[in-house]
């Protein structure tokens, strides 16, 4: 129960309404459909953007938002999310990952 405030804050920070007035630069603002279709260096750009985004959140919150998950596990989760949700933004996929991992904290 002591983590309930953090869960509430994460939910607020990572919901679409919180991003309504925020510019998302780079691949994070592109759709999961675009991610699903990308290959090679283009696919790598999405992955690097996601790793940087998560690292930035970790530094800002001084907390490991992925709770020790290795990069391969994180990327596999995002891959599966984007296949199921092609209309979502890549940023939305990463946000959903963080919310999912931290839902039961």
Q: C-alpha angle with apex 70: 74 to 6, nearest 5 degrees?
A: 70
CA 10 to chain centre: 12
Q: How much is the pLDDT for 68?
A: 87
pTM across the whole model: 0.77
Q: How much is the pLDDT for 82?
A: 98
75 φ, ψ (degrees, to nearest 5): -65, -35
Q: How much is the pLDDT for 1?
A: 46
Residue-range domain boundaries for the chain: 4-19+26-102
Dump pLDDT digits (tens) for 9-62.
555 555 555 545 688 899 999 999 999 999 999 999 999 999 999 999 889 888
């Amino acid at each position: 129960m002591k983590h309930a405030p953090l869960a509430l804050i994460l939910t607020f920070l990572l919901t679409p309404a919180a991003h309504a007035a925020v510019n998302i630069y780079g691949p994070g603002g592109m759709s999961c459909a675009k991610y699903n279709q990308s290959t090679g260096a283009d696919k790598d750009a999405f992955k690097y953007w996601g790793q940087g985004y998560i690292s930035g959140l970790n530094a800002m919150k001084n907390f490991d938002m992925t709770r020790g998950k290795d990069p391969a596990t994180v990327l596999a989760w995002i891959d599966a999310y984007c296949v199921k949700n092609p209309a979502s933004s890549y940023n939305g996929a990463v946000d959903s990952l963080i919310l999912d991992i931290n839902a039961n904290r």
